[in-house]
């Protein structure tokens, strides 16, 4: 069964707007990661946040983690048409070894 569930399933915004995607998970984690997948391509790692961290930034990306609510959010600021892709959250449990992915959010940024 999947550990993470993203919300919304799909998101359509205008270029320049911010995009927020949410992820909920079920069990205790070692870390949570966000990945991006362009159509027909492999996944690319965006950012990793450990269970003892609450917020992390990387360029236009901001990730928050709330372990009490078992949830995370990914914010992409000033979105661009090139940000159009599917975004996945993935969690690694405290036992390690198995990174489990959610079903993803499809983001469409209109130019």
Partner 1 sequence: NAGVTQTPKFQVLKTGQSMTLQCAQDMNHEYMSWYRQDPGMGLRLIHYSVGAGITDQGEVPNGYNVSRSTTEDFPLRLLSAAPSQTSVYFCASSYSSSGTGELFFGEGSRLTVL
Q: Give the SS3 label for residue 83.
A: helix
Q: Closer to partner 1 at the Cβ: 40 or 59?
A: 40
Bridge partners of 13? 109
Taking the C-alpha atoms of residue 31 and residue 64, their distance in angstroms, rounded to an integer, is 12
Contacts of residue 77, defined as CB under 8 A and 6 or more positions apart, other chains included, come to 18, 60, 61, 62
Q: Candidates 8, 12, 41, 57: give the one binding partner 1 (CB under 8 A).
A: 41
Residue 67 as a binder of partner 1 (CB under 8 A): the answer is: no
Residue 84 as a binder of partner 1 (CB under 8 A): the answer is: no
Q: Closer to partner 1 at the Cβ: 65 or 90?
A: 90
Q: Closer to partner 1 at the Cβ: 59 or 111?
A: 59
Taking the C-alpha atoms of residue 96 and residue 75, their distance in angstroms, rounded to an integer, is 26
Residues that bind partner 1 (CB under 8 A): 1-2, 4, 30-31, 33, 35, 40-45, 48, 88, 90, 92, 96-104
């Amino acid at each position: 069964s999947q550990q993470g569930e993203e919300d919304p399933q799909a998101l359509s915004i205008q270029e320049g707007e911010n995009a927020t995607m949410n992820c909920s998970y079920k069990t205790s984690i070692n870390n949570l990661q966000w990945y991006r997948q362009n159509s027909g391509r492999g996944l690319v790692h965006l950012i990793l946040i450990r269970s003892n961290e609450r917020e992390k930034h990387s360029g236009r990306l901001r990730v928050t983690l709330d372990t009490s609510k078992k949830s995370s959010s990914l914010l992409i600021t000033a979105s661009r048409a090139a940000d159009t892709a599917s975004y996945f959250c993935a969690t690694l449990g405290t036992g390690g070894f198995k990174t489990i992915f959610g079903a993803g959010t499809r983001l469409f940024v209109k130019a």
